A and B are shown apart, each in its own frame.
Chain A
């Protein structure tokens, strides 16, 4: 996990203070949002399975910062961070978890299924690994559009996955297809060391060198310390540029850690408090803040206080919004099933269109 750019001019050095401050803002927004999410879950305002992203903020913010806004991305069920980093409003994200019609999926998706078309987020996906062939298909179509149809420009798709998804057949098939067809997709393993209670060593071979797995499919891979957002950007951006330019796949083993349990119901017997504390001591938000304060003198203690307060207020507002938003009308139960509803598609239902998605 050496920083290859150490000693050289780093890409992030060329970025303005404003850009880095916006990263700090986004990371803190995600953290605060997840704190509120956990609270709301405990109050039974959010149902189902809910997985918070706390600890991993540098991963999504750092990688998304290296992309164009219209590059398509797809992720797994631990997806609130990606949604916010991509530009979804906290309101749409929180309301979705509250199951409200104002949510990004009209309350039909829930915590694990965040979709945002205007921000090119092709979903959070609940089946481990399932999003990796989809991401491959996004890259396929993006390439097809400029190559066959002569429209658009070169894109790179991102497919995020957890370390547990490394062991799914779908992921291996996806990599093979991407390697074979030269598809511009980067698989980002957000390697937080555990899939539920199974540590990565107990789940996959070559756990300390996952890049080898990509190499097996002819795909260039990098191991990146995902706890240091400057490092994430500095190492990841050149890979994105290369994959865009050469229209080739890539792979990243992004080392990170989740502070909370796997889901909201996890006693965490499989890891020690010390281990958690050790990671927390290297916290990615604290590290960026310290860079901005001491090395850049771009943020003062007072600025930080103000930012935290702004974020607290903003997230609080999103909870209020979610709470006060209406449930979907009962008629919404049978809408959005068919794009072209016809008679006799079902013995019991007469499908119709309902209301437009609030994001469209």
Chain B
């Protein structure tokens, strides 16, 4: 009988020889302040381009990524630099090209797949949920799936029900995948570089509404590790936490609350799987109050998950029941005012914080 030997490498041998980048502690990362101001979309482009320069196995495919320079100009200029064999225009065929990329990842490439919107990934649900995250398990540890799926997530601005999906609530349910939801250009670049160099399938969720956001992004290369939240603002009245675009609504709300003398911790989670619950618990132990903001629907959402974990781990520290602010539990409306009210906006967030602080 074969005796089976335990795996002793950090990275699963199904992936072969695999090198992870060096991760520096947060305080040793290059400064977030400076005057090299670029857009969110450029930060994403820099991350992809740097990794494609480093590693020929990395390639980009998706609708309009090459000749059109990207439906949202994220991949602008990449066709010129890398050529049509590495920056590949696909037809509108999400099921087909997502599955194709997964096959390519199994064979040894490290594809980046751009979904014009995560809303359109629903027609690729089978490959991205049934194949990518389960390949390592189903093959008994023979094949992994090093792939990045990325694209716009959440309400883009009056796009209506079909185009405004927040897939995190649905997809983060599946074990085997990692999920990243950055809120700013600096993090987006460092996290995308980590995603491309990670051996597991990564779902990377951007927001059309943030692609034009500008911030300093340093010249030097850096990688941001998964599973580390960023304290975006400090206070001890309440823990306010979110990820992706609503982090900005939280900051707005925090500003308004500060005017009334209510200072809150704002945590930008950055990744959902892994989830830096340790930082959340640390903050909750200080504030004893928590509001979770999530731009997906409330039922069985990430907010539900975060709150469950808080209750499991810090029940005795809570002075008020946790609150969540999700999108309103209806399909996304088209009307501008209705859409604003539907989203977890600053007003709703501030109101939730007041209700737990003043209780």
Which A residues have a C-beta under 8 Å from some C-beta of B?
A: 72, 74, 101-109, 113, 115-117, 122-123, 125, 127, 130, 132-142, 144-145, 147-149, 169-170, 172-174, 176-177, 180-181, 324-325, 335-340, 342-347, 349, 353-360
Contacts and interface: CB of A to CB of B under 8 A. Distances in A.
Contacts of B105: 137, 141
Interface of B: 1-2, 4-15, 18, 20, 56-57, 59, 85-86, 88, 90-91, 93, 95-109, 126-127, 130-131, 136-144, 146, 175-176, 178, 198-200, 226-227, 273-278, 305, 308-309, 312
Given A137-B106, A138-B107, A355-B7, A339 B142 contact: no
A177 B90 contact: yes
7 contacts: A109-B138, A109-B140, A133-B100, A133-B127, A173-B95, A340-B200, A355-B6
Nearest to A344: B274
Nearest 9 interchain pairs by C-beta: A137-B103, A133-B99, A173-B96, A105-B140, A106-B140, A141-B107, A353-B7, A134-B103, A355-B4
Contacts of A346: 175, 273
A140 B86 CA distance: 11
Nearest to A137: B103
B63 to A, nearest CB: 12
Given A108-B137, A137-B104, 12 more contacts: A72-B107, A74-B103, A113-B139, A122-B143, A132-B99, A141-B109, A148-B56, A177-B93, A181-B88, A340-B12, A340-B198, A344-B276
Which of B15, B95, B143, B146: most chain A Cβ within 10 A? B95
A340 B99 contact: no
Contacts, number: 227
A130 B106 CA distance: 14
Contacts of B312: 347
B91 A180 contact: yes
A133 B59 contact: no
Contacts of B1: 102, 324-325
A105 B277 CA distance: 33
A138 B111 CA distance: 12
B109 A354 contact: no
Contacts of A339: 11-12, 14-15, 18, 136, 144, 146, 199-200
